[in-house]
Amino acid sequence: MKFENDFLFGAASASYQVEGAWDQDGKGPTNWDEFTKIPGKTFEGTNGDIAVDHYNRYKEDVRLMAEMGLESYRFSISWARIFPNGTGEVNQKGIDFYNNLIDECLKYGIVPFVTLYHWDLPLSLEKKGAWLNKDTVDAYVDYAVLCFKEFGDRVKNFITFNETVVFAALGYLAGAHPPGIENDAKKYFQVTHNVFYAHARALIEYKKLNQYGEIGLSHVFSPAFGIDDSEANTFAAMHANQYQFHWFFDPILRGHYPEYVVKQLEEKGLAPDWTTEELALIEQAAPLNDFMGLNYYQPQRVEKIEEAVEKRENTLENSTGAPGNPSFDNVYRTVLMEDKRYTKWNWEISPEAFVDGLEMIKENYGQIKLYITENGLGDEDPIIEGAVCDIPRINFINDHLVAVKEAIDRGVHIKGYYAWSAIDLLSWLNGYKKQYGFIYVDHKNGLERKKKASFHWFKEVIATRGENL
Ligand code: BGP
């Protein structure tokens, strides 16, 4: 089977991870500009001050993407380039940059797929409580509307938020992302609700503008499976999916939160502070989602725990995705299983669970259009006689594209696949050591770009529409 002609083959990035130019041309500081400077927060103190200098080299990068035959480039806008203080005065040079980047994509027929929020929050808003403060929601809606007006004539695909669970959980439960708060479940749930409310409002504003494009958001998709079929672990999987899957997908696609979770949060005093107006808006916005973006890296294998277990010590390497921790409510823990395959960072490699998970989406949410907005392998790529031989990445993407095909055959409505990432970039906590790109960036040699083996392979996949996978 070939992928249909309207299936988009793309690759992704995010502003903080590629742009650099952290204070160039009037950009304001962000939460990440500050957080990465705190000693011990990131691998070897790496930060995005320069990143891979995409801000200044976007022409070269887009040209390489075009050479690869990329049909779409997913990138994010840095809010603080547009509104240096998060709200108020607009920085025209920031708008110019994204206009140039969009136009450069279009010059080659590359569809720009734009994320409005990929975690870099203007510092002034961070200081006022970030997503705990409902004023941030108002500021976000203003920012989103400005982006629709400035870019919406040419950008026809908008993602409102990237991976709410990650910035909320790492920010308020694990303390590994800004603002670095640990074990505050009340705040964690509040942040998720405020973000979903902001998403709903942005959707309603977008539709008023009649731009005839698509809008949705991207969630991490890590379906949970019990480590065996026992009653206890089947329950653990159900519970994990209620909290990690339904809590995130139901308000967006069904317009209301899952009762199972709401009831427990109310009993524990952890329910967000939400108003009936906010809940009504979330309900009103649900049918306006044109698609759902899924970022799939791995499933979760879960085991019920009988009594509270100690949290494993978080290291930079394991705090973003390696199994081993109890859930916040000590009902289950994620487990590293001997019979599974893992990356060097202990992320499970499972295209099989991807297919099962995609079926789960269909069963729960029907025919909503899906884009796989991220999927890829973080690795330390081998360099052999000067060539970047990222064969494990080729195998990884190959197997996951086959999984996508399989899911399409089973009736799941998937219209695009974006590899993470287009080009090597800054891994939030793991620096430049953990690579994901088709394009290698030589940090020892003036950030020179080189094509990896996967670059040539993906080019062939696109040209043949996946016929030989
Ligand atoms: C996703 C993020 C990306 C990217 C990716 C890989 O959660 O949306 O921004 O970073 O994960 O993560 P890491 O760099 O931790 O390996």
* CB of 122 sitting under 6 A from ligand 1: no
Give the residue-averaged pLDDT of 350-358: 98
* CB of 454 sitting under 6 A from ligand 1: no
Question: In the predicted model, is pLDDT for residue 378 greater than 90?
Answer: yes
Atom of ligand 1 nearest to the CA of 166: 7
Atom of ligand 1 nearest to the CA of 347: 16
Look at residue 308 in the predicted model and tell me its pLDDT. Answer: 67
Distance from residue 428's CA to the centre of ligand 1 (Å)? 7
* CB of 51 sitting under 6 A from ligand 1: no
Task: Tell me the pLDDT band of 310, cut-offs 50, 70 and 90.
Answer: low
For ligand 1, atom 13, which residue shows the shortest CA distance?
A: 427
What the block records as the tokens of 265 is: 């949060």
Question: In the predicted model, is pLDDT for residue 462 greater than 90?
Answer: yes
Strands 370-374 and 414-420: parallel
Distance from residue 153's CA to the centre of ligand 1 (Å)? 29
Look at residue 319 in the predicted model and tell me its pLDDT. Answer: 66
Which tens digits make up the pLDDT trace of 405-445?
Answer: 999 999 999 999 999 999 999 999 999 999 999 999 999 99
* CB of 163 sitting under 6 A from ligand 1: yes
Atom of ligand 1 nearest to the CA of 218: 8
Atom of ligand 1 nearest to the CA of 427: 14
Look at residue 320 in the predicted model and tell me its pLDDT. Answer: 73
Q: Percentage of the chain with pLDDT > 70? A: 97
Look at residue 44 in the predicted model and tell me its pLDDT. Answer: 87
Q: Percentage of the chain with pLDDT > 90? A: 95
Which tens digits make up the pLDDT trace of 19-35?
Answer: 999 999 999 999 999 99
Task: Tell me the pLDDT band of 201, cut-offs 50, 70 and 90.
Answer: very high
CA distances from 281 to 258, 269, 275, 288 (A): 16, 23, 10, 11
Distance from residue 427's CA to the centre of ligand 1 (Å)? 6
Report the distance separating Cα 211 and Cα 238, nearest Å.
40
* CB of 162 sitting under 6 A from ligand 1: yes
Best mutation site among 425, 428, 434, 436 for ligand 1 pocket (most ligand atoms within 8 Å of CB): 428
Average pLDDT of the chain is 96
Give, in degrees to the nearest 5, the angle at Cα 193 between 211 and 367. Answer: 55
Atom of ligand 1 nearest to the CA of 321: 15
Which tens digits make up the pLDDT trace of 138-171?
Answer: 999 999 999 999 999 999 999 999 999 999 999 9
Residue 335 is given by DSSP the state -
Question: In the predicted model, is pLDDT for residue 318 greater than 90?
Answer: no
Question: In the predicted model, is pLDDT for residue 313 greater than 80?
Answer: no
Look at residue 134 in the predicted model and tell me its pLDDT. Answer: 97
- Positions annotated as catalytic residues are 374
Look at residue 127 in the predicted model and tell me its pLDDT. Answer: 98
- Give the rounded distance of the alpha carbon of 381 from its chain centre: 22
Strand positions, DSSP E, 281-369: 291-295, 300-304, 332-334
Question: In the predicted model, is pLDDT for residue 317 greater than 90?
Answer: no
Give the residue-averaged pLDDT of 377-385: 96
Look at residue 200 in the predicted model and tell me its pLDDT. Answer: 98
Taking a C-beta distance cutoff of 8 angstroms, is the pair 30, 78 a contact? yes
Fold that domain 8-304+339-463 belongs to in CATH: TIM Barrel (3.20.20)
Best mutation site among 19, 374, 435 for ligand 1 pocket (most ligand atoms within 8 Å of CB): 374
Distance from residue 229's CA to the centre of ligand 1 (Å)? 31
Which tens digits make up the pLDDT trace of 46-80?
Answer: 999 999 999 999 999 999 999 999 999 999 999 99
Which tens digits make up the pLDDT trace of 100-115?
Answer: 999 999 999 999 999 9
Give the residue-averaged pLDDT of 115-133: 98
Burial of 338 per CB tally in 10 Å (0-12, 13-18, 19+): exposed
Question: In the predicted model, is pLDDT for residue 1 greater than 80?
Answer: no
What the block records as the tokens of 326 is: 């109890």
Give the residue-averaged pLDDT of 340-356: 97
Q: Check residues 389 and 309 and name the one with the higher pLDDT.
A: 389
Domain ranges of the chain: 8-304+339-463
For ligand 1, atom 9, which residue shows the shortest CA distance?
A: 14
pTM of the model: 0.97
Report the distance separating Cα 10 and Cα 446, nearest Å.
27
Question: In the predicted model, is pLDDT for residue 297 greater than 90?
Answer: yes
Task: Tell me the pLDDT band of 247, cut-offs 50, 70 and 90.
Answer: very high
Distance from residue 266's CA to the centre of ligand 1 (Å)? 32
